[in-house]
């Protein structure tokens, strides 16, 4: 297969996340943004005009039917990830699926099985782990930079305005912190520990609309390793993350998902770590997807599907502890 050929992209949905990703995608010489699909022709045309996309479709079914697309980026709201990604896979299209991958592990398992059955590439768009700083820290920790990694502390909390109909608080749109932003610290712990948790203890405040407005989560891993995590949509939190080892610790400077700066502390001696990133950072996950497609891979080694499934299982267990179910479940 030609390793330099352009990969032809379709974009499913035209919301805020689609804008951010498509802007990053437009900077990559190896990418051709060929088509966009929306629920209305007007939105598809507006988005197409903004990014100079030649093919515009007024339905998702028309988009996935385009025979010239190599991959479709699914950027719809997360309650619709399963049905939209399934539509793409059934049409024979590779998929980069925005986080959270699905609503439940059962949905994730079905998509993964379908992708394997059709021999199609599928990957969760957990963009932060593809950025250079995360990859650098993972490699250095594996070499013993801070000894044995024993504990992780990470939070993602912000205070959204009180708008009960907004997706962040609306139970009909699977609102709340966990699936929207809580998935980030959970994925961070999964990335650095490299295994699923064996036990979970968590508490959440379910607010007036019934969704998790804030939560605290402890994940226990093998040999007593711990991740202390929190997320919130009505409470701002410190956005530094910490990786604690037996011989020192690393502070990833907040907001940690900007991932360019960290500090290594060994016996009180601090060393700055600066690994710049290009653009917004969303470009790195697109490059990974395109590299995999050119190599005829059906999944990424940096974001393997088994790990995505384990993260969904973890969030299922957390929600079960809270008794949180959405109206459509």
Three-state SS sequence of 188-216: HHHHHHCCCCCEEEEEEEECCCCCEEEEE
Give the closest residue to 71 by CA, choosing from 117, 109, 32: 32
Average pLDDT over residues 257-282: 93
Q: What is the pTM of this model?
A: 0.96
Does residue 179 carry a pLDDT above 80?
A: yes
- Residue ranges of alpha helices (H) inside 119-275 are 132-142, 177, 183-193
- Which pLDDT tens digit goes with each residue over 118-143? 999 999 999 999 999 999 999 999 99
Q: Render pLDDT for 63-107 as a digit per residue (tens, 0 to 9).
A: 999 999 999 999 999 999 999 999 999 999 999 999 999 999 999
pLDDT score of 157 more than 70 = yes
- Quick one: what percent of the chain has pLDDT higher than 70? 99
Report whether pLDDT(271) > 90: yes
Residue ranges of the domains in the chain?
7-128+282-298, 132-276+312-322
Separation between Cα atoms, residue 285 and residue 130, nearest integer Å: 6
Mean pLDDT calculated for residue range 56-61: 98
Whether the per-residue pLDDT at 1 is higher than 50: the answer is: no
Distance separating alpha carbons of residues 132 and 263, to the nearest angstrom:
15
Residues with a known catalytic role: 99
The domain defined by 132-276+312-322 carries CATH number 1.10.730.10: no
Scanning 219-328, the segments in alpha helix (DSSP H) are 282-294, 305-322
Would you place residue 2 in the very low, low, confident or very high pLDDT band (cuts 50, 70, 90)? low
Of 166 and 80, more confident: 80
pLDDT in tens, 211-266: 999 999 999 999 999 999 999 999 999 999 999 999 999 999 988 877 899 999 99
- Using DSSP, state whether 67 is helix, strand or coil: coil
Predicted pLDDT of residue 230:
98
Residue whose token pair is 């305005």:
161
Which CATH code fits 7-128+282-298? 3.40.50.720
Tell me what the pLDDT averaged over the chain comes to. Answer: 96
């Amino acid at each position: 297969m030609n390793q330099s050929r352009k990969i032809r992209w379709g974009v499913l949905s035209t919301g805020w996340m689609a804008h951010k990703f498509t802007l990053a995608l437009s900077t990559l010489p190896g990418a051709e943004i060929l088509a966009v699909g929306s629920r209305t022709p007007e939105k598809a045309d507006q988005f197409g005009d903004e990014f100079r996309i030649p093919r515009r479709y007024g339905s998702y079914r028309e988009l996935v039917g385009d025979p010239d697309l190599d991959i479709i980026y699914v950027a719809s709201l997360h309650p619709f990830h399963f049905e939209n990604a399934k539509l793409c896979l059934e049409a024979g299209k590779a998929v980069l699926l925005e986080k959270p991958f699905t609503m439940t592990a059962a949905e994730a398992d079905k998509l993964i099985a379908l992708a394997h059955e059709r021999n199609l590439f599928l990957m969760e768009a957990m963009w932060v782990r593809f950025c250079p700083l995360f990859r650098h820290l993972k490699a250095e920790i594996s070499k013993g930079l801070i000894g044995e990694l024993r504990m992780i502390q990470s939070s993602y909390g912000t205070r959204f305005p009180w708008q009960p109909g907004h997706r962040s608080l609306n139970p009909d749109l699977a609102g709340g912190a966990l699936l929207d932003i809580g998935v980030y610290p959970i994925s961070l712990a999964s990335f650095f520990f490299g295994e699923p948790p064996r036990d979970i203890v968590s508490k959440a405040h379910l607010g007036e609309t019934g969704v998790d407005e804030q939560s605290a989560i402890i994940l226990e891993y093998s040999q007593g390793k711990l991740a202390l995590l929190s997320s919130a949509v009505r409470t701002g939190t410190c956005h530094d993350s910490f990786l604690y080892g037996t011989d020192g610790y690393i502070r990833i400077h907040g907001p940690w998902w900007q991932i360019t700066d960290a500090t290594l502390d060994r016996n009180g001696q601090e060393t700055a770590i600066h690994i710049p990133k290009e653009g917004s950072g969303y470009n790195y996950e697109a490059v990974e997807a395109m590299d995999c497609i050119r190599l005829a891979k059906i999944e990424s080694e940096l974001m393997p599907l088994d790990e995505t499934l384990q993260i969904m299982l973890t969030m299922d267990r957390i929600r079960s502890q809270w008794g949180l179910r959405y109206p459509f479940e």
